[in-house]
Amino acid sequence: MRFLGDSIIPYIGTETFKLGDTLQNVRTYLKGNKIRFNQSVNPNKGCTPEVPWTFIEIEKSITLCFVKDILFEILLENEYKGVLPNGCSIGTKMSELEKLDPTLQYNDADEDFISENGYWIGDEIETGLICSITVFLPEVDSDDFFEYEWLEKYMKKA
């Protein structure tokens, strides 16, 4: 599938899937192009506020994450071949990425790396290779993300 090689653009998404888009638009695109996907919902029971998140998984390589039907995060892994603006992709050596992005910081809580350039990286300790790349809306990095007030801005655009 062509979009498995789309460029990865921090704070924007990929060439095909744009952060801030709606669940309805994404589902319409997938169905219109006969792209198979799995959809699931995490109701976030017990969280305050209790806001369900919807996930669409495509080809076990792209996971699109929605809150109140707004795409806020894209996880890329496995067969995804797209590259970040710095030239790194899944399968790149972490040592190479560390040279290209001095802003990388290890995040103990999620056991990944956070870049000030708008992406998160998962790596395989055994191989030293990047195994996942996540891009997200700028608001995901804010302290008040889980208050969801930022959603209003995106819902108006939808």
pLDDT, tens digit (0-9, with 9 covering 90-100), for 23-60: 999 999 999 999 999 999 999 998 888 999 999 999 99
User: Residues 6-20: what's their mean pLDDT?
Assistant: 97
Q: Strands 62-67, 8-9: parallel, antiparallel or unpaired by DSSP?
A: unpaired
Alpha carbon of 137 to those of 18, 65, 73, 153, 155: distances in Å? 10, 11, 7, 12, 14
Find out whether 135 and 122 touch, Cβ atoms under 8 Å: no
Q: Are 73 and 136 in contact (CB under 8 A)?
A: yes
pTM of the model: 0.95
Measured distance CA(69)–CA(1) in Å, rounded:
25
β-strand partners of 130: 123
